[in-house]
Structure 1
Amino acid sequence: MDYLIRFSTQHESFRLAEIEALTQLVNIKNGLQSMVAVEILEYSLVSPFCIVRFSLGSSDGSAVSTEQDVHDAVISFMSRSIQAKAIYELWGSGSDYESLHTDVRARSQHLWSRYQHDVRFKFSIDSYFGKRSAGEQREIINQFAYFGFQGKVDMKRPDQEWCLMEEWESPLHLSSNGLAENRNIDRDNQPSCEVDGRLPANTTSKQPRRIILGRKITSSRRYLVEKHDLKKRPYISTTSMDAELALITATLALASPGKLFLDPFCGTGGFMVAAAELGAVVLGSDIDGRSFRGKGEGVEKGVGRNMKFYGIDALFGDCLTSDLTNTPLRRSRVRWLDGIIADIPYGVREGLKVLGRKQPIKEGAEEGGLVKQPHKIGGVLAHTLPGYIAPKKPYSFSKLLENILDFAARTLVDSGRLAFWMPTANENEEGEQRSAATPRHALLELKHESVQRFNKWSRRLLVYERVVGEFDDAALKGDALIPVVNGTSADELNPFRRRYFQSFAKEPNG
């Protein structure tokens, strides 16, 4: 049996990555006894409808694909989805209603008898980029009277629900490069079939281009997006990651019960909250402890307050003040992290920094008595007092990328995942479209690269998986696919920051 995933219409480039991650999560839950495979049969970035096929097999290769096994796998799969709204058992599809009815009879007639007696049912219409009046909806639904359902119609608490999904012509279909020209269209807020019978202004056809009928299996966990809306969260900052993107990031990193996750740039803990919501135990660190402590004297007033607000404080390990480059966290032959998720500092509001002295101690300074003595306050070493802020120095963005890849390779367990966001300019200094180099590491396999585009710049979510097996230290170094940047100032050390404050303009001689 084939199924239809009804996606939301936000963040289209993340959908396929989520399907892969959800498949892995189902297999982790099932263990090695049965392996789920999801085959994508029909999919387009410009459509929220994705037709897939589920299959199961045992670890020894024998088939274990009973109908109930597949049904359980489908429910387990969708129960972790953030981007999808629901999944449906596919009963038929067509380019018009005549071809739809033909396909429905051929594909699902053997199923009708299951629901013909003592089953409360509901029919609804989901028109993507189109509208149907109430009268039109009734007329369309009544065309399926040949199902022979004798049960009561119940629009609030049905036992079974069928949905007719209409896909109308949209600017995305008419555009030659779809998303690039229409990325600012809020398709979730496009007129739906439940308002009135007028066609929206951007609809060029009087009939849908495709119609699909499906029986609803289950809804997703998309309700978490509303639950974690930043407007409702007690502790945030201006740089807190969008709740949906944080949940997507945690999902692609395979956050789930029994796993240990770290955010080495935790800030107000948005990624920590997302990973904990999905069941992982979380740790965090940040170069500025004030970001996760808030105005209080401990994390219970900052990140801990958010954890308690969502009832996931039992999964909150702790936060520590540290940068990633000089982290005290153990890096040894014993790897201990299941996942690392991060929004790497872009260095725009203030230059990227790490702990350390701006001016290194010169050779021979100790003999000459030129070494600065430890600072004391009231006779107590300043760095031992609460609220101490360690000195910082400018740091290269490309070097930081190398650091996080190396740290992940040394700490992630086999098949553990690293997921982080990286900003890039859409054009180079000459005004040419550019494809920024993707950081690489010998021990990390790039699984996904998803892009969120803005006007003149983008940010990419990069997801890596730790290669299985042990390697010697000589292999634990990042590949130099990102050029090494030298300099001393924030702009010299961070080309993206420099281009940002130039408004991504062309060079005068470009």
Structure 2
Amino acid sequence: MDYDHHHYLIRFAQTHEGFRQPEIEALSRLAGVRCEIVSYSDDSPFCVVRFAFRDSPTTSTTSTNSRHEAHDDVVRNFISRSILAKSIYEIWGQGRDYEEVHADVKQRSQPLWPRFQNVTFRFSIDTYGLTHDATKQKDMIDSFSYLGFKGKIRMKNPEAEFALMEDWLLPEFIRKRAREESAASSTAVGTTVAEALSNSSLRQIFLGRKIGESRRWLREKHDLKKRPYISTTSMDAELALLTANMALAAPGKIFLDPFVGTGGFMVAAAELGAMTLGSDIDGRSFRGKGLGLEKGVGANFRKYGISHLFGDCITSDLTNTPVRSPTKSQQRFGPRWLDGIICDPPYGVREGLKVLGTRKATAVSASGVDSDGRETSSSPTPHMIDGVLAHTRPGYIAPKKPYSFTRMLDDILDFATRTLVDGGRLAFWMPSANENESGEEESTLIPTHPHLELKHECIQRFNKWSRRLLVYERLPGALDTEVDVEGLRRGMEGMARTADELNPFRKRYFEAFVGRNGT
């Protein structure tokens, strides 16, 4: 099969720059089209990409136009799932100055001009890093009069929309570059900066035909201020949608959030078409003060008209979950059933992490007898109150014990390998300290698993700490290599007791405040 390669320009919003390229990869997977990044920099909202379309040779004008429209549909479908992008354009020309742009337009896009000679159209100016007055903008547009468009100008809902885009280097980047050049050449910094600012900082000019818009409007629709049920730990709506996007949430898929809280990730995945489920060790977090869809997470689903994608929420601990986890022999027949797992696990800062269970566990020897020679059982001893099983009494609250942060991460990965279908994705947020005890950049260890491939690591930096969005993909095959999570957990229980000992991030987080306040 031959591929027809075309260049397009993605216009991003200037936010969450480190998440852009991973989102492009996810959009490519969702749309089923090959998309390659040709030119991109984090300090610019413009990204040049190349699509590879599967084409058959055509000769007639009608066939060519139909093929072009088919390409537009593919690109429009691609960008329609984006949260970070604003729109996408077919590149008609580009250059570092207007002389280069005009030459490139005539060489690159002239065969396309006849198709738009008599349609209604609109021309707009989009500059990043600089603004032009109305007179200047009119002169810029008039310089492309040779395109010969004869249709009426229509500012609302035109049949074709064109944009002239300028990418200017912002002053802070000019100063940074000047300081670097000054350090390299031993030139006075002030002189270098002044010269740099006086020179043109125009990096690139593009002329493009608008193909489609993104779904960025969802961030306004899901603004937490307008949501009926939230808490102080609810994830930002834009980041929740990004997480669901990178996990490839789509119609026909089943997604689970095992730390559901107020259901922000469930809502995001459902908005993108997935059937959603949730669980949490504290059922009050998702129930709110009501039942069914009247309160809690259900109220959010009802507000957005996606109640049909709300599976259910259960009170459950990830390490003691009732969610079916097939055995090694069963996995050969493919009983894994989750398409995606997305979550923001607790960081254990405000209070130590907990897991269902009791601190005190009875040691069981390999021979099945205790130190007094009595037979023992590996089964836990039932907890009785007045001769009645404790968990059957009204108002029963299950006991909890301290939980290791690193063990929680291992449990998440282990759970994902046992439940995700081949190609299914796990996306979760992990906190990390920015500096170690010596004030140096902290080296963060990323959890791994032999059956999961780390696809993306996106970092959101704060002052003393960061959080990372880690996206994994389930590799094909059964669990031929299993991780002894239970054995590791038993070892952990014998070594650590305090919240800080069980959670190195919590320890580093509070050390930063102690160092800053001197107390």
Which structure 2 residues correspond to residues 74-223 of structure 1 after superposition, within 5 A? Answer: 74-117=75-118, 119-171=119-171, 173-174=173-174, 208-223=202-217
Residue of structure 2 equivalent to 1:497: 506
* Superimposed CA distance per residue, residues 174-205 of structure 1 (whole angstroms, 9 cap, x where no aligned partner): 36599xxxxxxxxxxxxxxxxxxxxxxx9866
Counterpart in the other structure of 1:4: 9
| Distance 1:395-1:436 versus aligned 2 partners, 3 A rule | same
Structure 2 Cα separation of the partners of residues 216 and 203 of structure 1 = 32
Root-mean-square deviation (CA, aligned residues, Å) is 3.0
TM-score, normalised to structure 2, is 0.83
* TM-score, length-scaled by structure 1: 0.85
Distance 1:177 1:452 in 2: 24
Q: Secondary structure in 2 aligned to 1:440? A: coil
| Percent identity of paired positions between Structure 1 and Structure 2 | 61
User: Which one-letter code corresponds to 1:327 in the other structure?
Assistant: T
Which of 39, 44, 47 does residue 44 from structure 2 map onto?
A: 47
How far the C-alpha of 1:47 sits from its partner, in A, is: 0.8
Q: How many residues align?
A: 466
Q: 1: distance between equivalents of 2:357 and 2:198? A: 61
Matched to 2:512, the amino acid is: S
| 1:215-294 paired onto structure 2 within 5 Å | 215-294=209-288
Conserved? CA contact 2:39–2:48, under 8 Å: yes
Structure (1/2) with the larger helix percentage? 2
1:459 aligns with 2:467: yes
Judged with a 3 Å threshold, the aligned counterparts in structure 2 of structure 1 residues 171 and 420 are, in CA distance, closer, same or farther, namely farther
The aligned residue for residue 190 of structure 1 is none
Q: Distance in 2 between matches of 1:258 and 1:387?
A: 39
> In the alignment, what sits opposite 2:367?
none
Distance 1:220 1:203 in 2: 35
Counterpart AA for 2:83: I
1:362 deviates by 7.0
Deviation of the 1:218 alpha carbon: 0.5
Change (3 A) 1:206 1:314: same
Counterpart contact for 1:357–1:393, Cα < 8 Å: yes
**What corresponds to 1:198 in structure 2?**
none
Shift of 1:345: 0.7
Q: State the AA in 2 paired with 1:218.
A: G
**Residue identity opposite 2:337 in structure 1:** W
* Unaligned segments of structure 2, at least 5 residues: 1-5, 59-63, 179-195, 365-369, 376-380
Rounded to whole Å, the distance in 1 between the matches of 2:355 and 2:52 is 49
- The reply to whether residue 406 of structure 1 matches residue 436 of structure 2 is no
Q: Distance in 2 between matches of 1:387 and 1:45?
A: 54
Cα distance change of structure 1 residues 143 and 177 upon mapping to structure 2, 3 Å threshold? closer
Q: CA deviation at 1:165?
A: 1.1
Choose from 431, 438, 447 the match for 1:423.
431
Question: Are the counterparts in 2 of residues 351 and 394 from structure 1 also a CA contact under 8 Å?
Answer: yes
